């Protein structure tokens, strides 16, 4: 264990943190699938309100997707920019 450098430890912890940040992509995928299913069911029940249902559903999906994008940005920062290495 004495062969581990500070830089190596930070890089390993950053890789683990990036992997954990990518777990944030699961939530938007599930949420968007549920929203699309309910939107399709609503259009099936009331085809006349298709435009309003679709626009509301797409707006909700865009908002839900931001969580996944934030997780991706954090993962990319930890892997490539790695601001923690400057603190050594």
Of 47, 44, 42, nearest to 57 by C-alpha is 42
CB atoms within 10 A of CB 82: 15
Domain parsing of the chain, residue ranges:
6-83
pLDDT in tens, 30-72: 888 898 899 999 999 999 999 999 999 889 888 888 888 999 9
pLDDT in tens, 8-36: 888 899 999 999 998 888 888 888 889 88
Overall CATH class of domain 6-83 = mainly alpha
């Amino acid at each position: 264990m004495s062969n581990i450098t500070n830089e190596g430890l930070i890089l390993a912890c950053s890789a683990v943190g990036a992997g954990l940040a990518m777990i944030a992509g699961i939530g938007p995928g599930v949420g968007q699938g549920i929203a699309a299913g309910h939107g399709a069911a609503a259009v099936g029940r009331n085809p006349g309100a298709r435009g309003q249902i679709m626009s509301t559903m797409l707006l909700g999906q865009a908002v839900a997707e931001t969580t996944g994008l934030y997780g991706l940005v954090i993962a990319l920062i930890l892997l490539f920019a790695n601001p923690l290495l400057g603190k050594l």
